[in-house]
Amino acid sequence: MKVFVTGGAGYIGSICVEELLNADHLVTVFDNLSEGHRVAVDERAQFIEGCLSDRETILNAVAADQPEAVMHFAAFAQVGESMTDPSKYFRNNVANGINLLDAAVEAGVKKFVFSSTAATYGMPDTTVPITEQEPQKPINPYGESKLMFETMLKWYRELHGLEFVAFRYFNAAGCSEKLGEERRVETHLIPNVLRVALGQAKQCRIFGTDYPTPDGTCIRDYIHIIDLAQAHILALKPGKCGFYNLGNGEGYSVREVIETCRQVSGKPIPAIEEARRDGDPARLIAGSQKAIDELGWKPRYATLEQIVDSAWRWHSAHPNGYSG
Ligand code: UFG
């Protein structure tokens, strides 16, 4: 299929582009490079540097490309920043996204695939894996902006017939052989812990040790980026439509992640214990049975060791990230 990908120079988008191309799809990437990296865009893809805020540009780009599907990864995604600058999140993740939705409708796009997030669930009461039926009560503008986009998708489907698949990612992690995780400001656990293994920081930080979990630290469901990309490819099949969680249904605590990073890298990785970070739920574990049953999704790299191993291979081969 011909697929138009926004945010295809970012961490998740670039690896999805690589997997789309490996599966013989044709890809055009649209990215303003505010967070992404030009060198992360596979050379087999066509690249357009542009911003979703520029309505004419995006309408013209999609009209000229005539894709069968659009995958929308472009967004700001820092929870903490969204609490201090909500305008940035609602403007980019919601308002600018409307330009893309309209462009897709005008160009007669058949399928719209959207990057949503577990942050739309907020602080779920449930300790069992979270299903798609869990009430969505975001607790920050980032999660709210993604939920607002989900709502727009429902209406665009009903009123314009735009079919969509929206994936609620849990903790995307790991790297491909060629492409990795590098952000201008890094807040995520695994890349920050591996930075210590590389000798680029003295110690990693554990945010909160008094959570109601077996070792007192937060539990998250880590999903390998290549498994996540495979779900996007399955979403392109005709007739697939709706909201899907993406995770492995297994939770690992912050301490367990750090320990796995020690084992995989063979480095000691000192850690210091700090206060809780605002807005962190104690436990987020995905129920992804719907994606398995309806999309035929089969995660191939489901263990934390496999995920961390792929991240360590990329980070140790690219200690300076894309600028090296
Ligand atoms: N953490 C640390 N030390 C660090 C970084 C993180 O202890 O240096 C902890 C966090 O407090 C949290 C866990 O590690 O308990 C995971 O934190 P991440 O920042 O890696 O990921 P989050 O679970 O906070 O957020 C991720 C995505 C969000 C998305 C969310 C949905 O980054 O975009 O999952 O579950 F909204």
- Tell me the pLDDT tens digit for each residue of 232-277: 999 999 999 999 999 999 999 999 999 999 999 999 999 999 999 9
Predicted local confidence at residue 238, as pLDDT: 94
Which residue has the least CA distance to atom 18 on ligand 1? 188
275 Cβ closer than 6 Å to some ligand 1 atom: no
Provide mean pLDDT across the span 194-210.
97
Predicted local confidence at residue 323, as pLDDT: 85
277 Cβ closer than 6 Å to some ligand 1 atom: yes
111 pLDDT band, cuts 50/70/90, is very high
Angle between helices 55-65 and 96-106 (to 10 degrees): 30
Provide mean pLDDT across the span 298-316.
97
Percent of the chain with pLDDT over 70: 100
Which residue has the least CA distance to atom 30 on ligand 1? 119
Contact call for residues 44 and 112 (beta carbons, < 8 A): no
Predicted local confidence at residue 141, as pLDDT: 96
CA of 66 to the centre of ligand 1 (A): 37
Predicted local confidence at residue 291, as pLDDT: 98
Predicted local confidence at residue 126, as pLDDT: 72
Angle between helices 189-197 and 254-265 (to 10 degrees): 40
> Does 120 score more than 80 pLDDT?
yes
E strand or H helix at 31, and its extent? Answer: strand 26-31
CA of 105 to the centre of ligand 1 (A): 35
Provide mean pLDDT across the span 138-147.
96
CA of 280 to the centre of ligand 1 (A): 7
**What's the chain's Rg over C-alpha atoms?**
19
> Does 193 score more than 90 pLDDT?
yes
- Rounded Cα distance between 35 and 48, Å, is 15
> Does 225 score more than 80 pLDDT?
yes
206 Cβ closer than 6 Å to some ligand 1 atom: yes
3-state secondary structure (DSSP) of residue 205: strand
Contact call for residues 244 and 132 (beta carbons, < 8 A): yes
- Look at the pTM and tell me if it is higher than 0.95: yes
- Rounded Cα distance between 254 and 32, Å, is 33
Q: Which atom of ligand 1 is nearest to the CA of 193?
A: 8
Active site residue 142: yes
CA of 188 to the centre of ligand 1 (A): 5
Contact partners, residue 276, CB within 8 Å, separation at least 6: 207, 208, 210, 211
